[in-house]
A and B are shown apart, each in its own frame.
Chain A
């Protein structure tokens, strides 16, 4: 009897001719350059073909949620930077949104614009580095990643000039933002955004029609629409399957209803669609940025009534969610009237999007596993928390 018979998920595979093929169990990670951090997959292989894949999390677990229950509401804000360390500003926003819902704080107009500008810049640099990493996973060593990081660097410089740090920004506060724009920042940001489409054009010429990329990505890692919806997938991975669901349009949190932009959708749900979708999303982000920077009003950048210290929201619960670059990022908070939250829970997009990894990888070979994982866009800081 073939060893394959033990795995129902391998029913579609034909056993090798001699009928006694041996399955090989490979532990990919946690220290593996393709796993985007300390992520481990136990992969069962029949030759080169994956017949079973078991993701193993927890190597970067830092007790984020439990620590937050002992911190003040403000004290958790710098910890949220460390969830998805590529997109600290959107993490800040999701957490601030949850606390603002909990305490009923109004955010002034200018702060809303500042939040949109910083969040869309975050989306640009996250997607830029993601496409770079994906090419790196495919074996295009160096060059595409270097171009992507060159552009990301310009955005990180903007973050440093505004918030004081390149990645751990800790910028948003309940009821607004921490500081106002420094002199000359907006002009510099306008220049960076105006130069960004050139990078996208070049990137598309560089790779989109490349025969090797198409052979490696088209039809690989297909995720069906039904499975994506049932598994709770959000973000670009879901939209690449053709499901029109973007919280910026669904919830219209902040002031997203004032901007005109479109939601790009994929068709096949394969790696190529996910990759192209990110390039298209960056173009839409540039549209939002141009509008927001044009309309940025004068006024207070934070709500002066909100206290920095001794902040005690009334007992109650709140869920704040935003469309982070990786999907729906939500914070669920329960307050019991003390300075610390009674319960603090994160709904991380990376973790939930990872749950369909096995379904996408079955029947593909090991090299495809690496790019399928890369196309989901995970950050282990957020998966393990």
Chain B
């Protein structure tokens, strides 16, 4: 009968409509501002800089080796390297970034900076509510805005952060064992990165 297929289709629509009241698989949306989906751990959007200790600027793990600046595909990272060395969180003298800017209007969230960083200093955030009203200065994130604590990193990527902490602790123990503190031992390469440049 002509119209049979149409009626069958309409019956299907009705099944989906009424089913959406009982079946979670048929209604997958949530009422966003009131309800929130659980954050997915692996999710990423923009990078941030990890610091140890309490001082967000002095505790930065970044030693401004400029590897991420060079490897960033859209070239959204700008780093100015310091001329002097300053003791880092464990007391070892290191260079530090006097300026570290990320233009998030250019950043494409590929996380290649994270992969190449030998110091585990830059990681991906998953805070998606990053809207701003200005087109230029609001989207140029300086190191003050980018610095976030290691505890925050544990909060957003618990599994990954635990692995990183274990690797760092092991590397520190290894560096401290033969000659304690005094000489600037080569920094520990991370699990993902290659050898540091300088």
Contact = CB atoms under 8 A, between A and B. Distances in A.
Interface of A: 71-72, 74-79, 81-82, 143, 147, 150, 153-154, 157, 160-165, 168, 170, 178-179, 182-183, 195, 202, 205-214, 307-310
Give the residue among B6, B8, B9, B44 with the most A Cβ atoms within 10 A: B9
B6 A75 contact: no
Nearest to A309: B194
Contacts, number: 93
A164 B193 contact: no
Nearest to A154: B28
B43 interface: yes
Interface in B165-197: 192-194
Q: Which 10 residue pairs of A and B lie closest in terms of their CB atoms, listed nearest first?
A: A78-B110, A209-B5, A75-B73, A164-B44, A309-B194, A210-B5, A206-B12, A164-B42, A206-B9, A205-B12
13 contacts: A75-B73, A75-B112, A81-B110, A153-B28, A157-B40, A160-B42, A161-B42, A178-B115, A195-B25, A202-B15, A209-B8, A211-B4, A309-B194
B28 A150 contact: yes
A220 B183 CA distance: 77
Contacts of B112: 74-75, 77-78, 170
B9 A210 contact: yes
B109 interface: yes
Give chain B's interface residue range (CB within 8 Å of chain A).
35 or more
B44 A71 contact: no
Given A81-B110, A212-B6, A309-B194, 18 more contacts: A71-B73, A77-B110, A79-B73, A160-B40, A161-B40, A161-B41, A164-B111, A165-B44, A170-B110, A182-B159, A205-B12, A206-B12, A206-B13, A207-B9, A211-B4, A213-B5, A308-B192, A309-B71
A161 B38 CA distance: 11
A308 B6 contact: no
Contacts of A150: 26, 28
B155 interface: no
Nearest to B5: A209
Interface string B16-29: 10000000011010
Nearest to A150: B28
Contacts of A178: 115
Interface of B: 2-6, 8-9, 11-13, 15-16, 25-26, 28, 40-44, 67, 71, 73, 108-112, 115-116, 124, 159, 192-194
Which secondary structure dominates where chain A touches chain B? helix
Contacts of B67: 309
Given A164-B43, A206-B13, A74 B109 contact: no
A77 B111 CA distance: 11
B5 to A, nearest CB: 4
Nearest to A140: B9
Contacts of A147: 16
A307 B25 CA distance: 43
Contacts of A143: 13
A162 B42 contact: yes
Contact of A76 (B41, B73, B194): B73
Contact of A210 (B6, B16, B26): B6
A163 B44 CA distance: 9
B123 to A, nearest CB: 12
A95 to B, nearest CB: 13
A74 B71 contact: yes
Nearest to B4: A209
Contacts of A213: 5
B73 A78 contact: yes
Give the residue among B3, B112, B194 with the most A Cβ atoms within 10 A: B112
Nearest to A214: B5
A130 B65 CA distance: 46
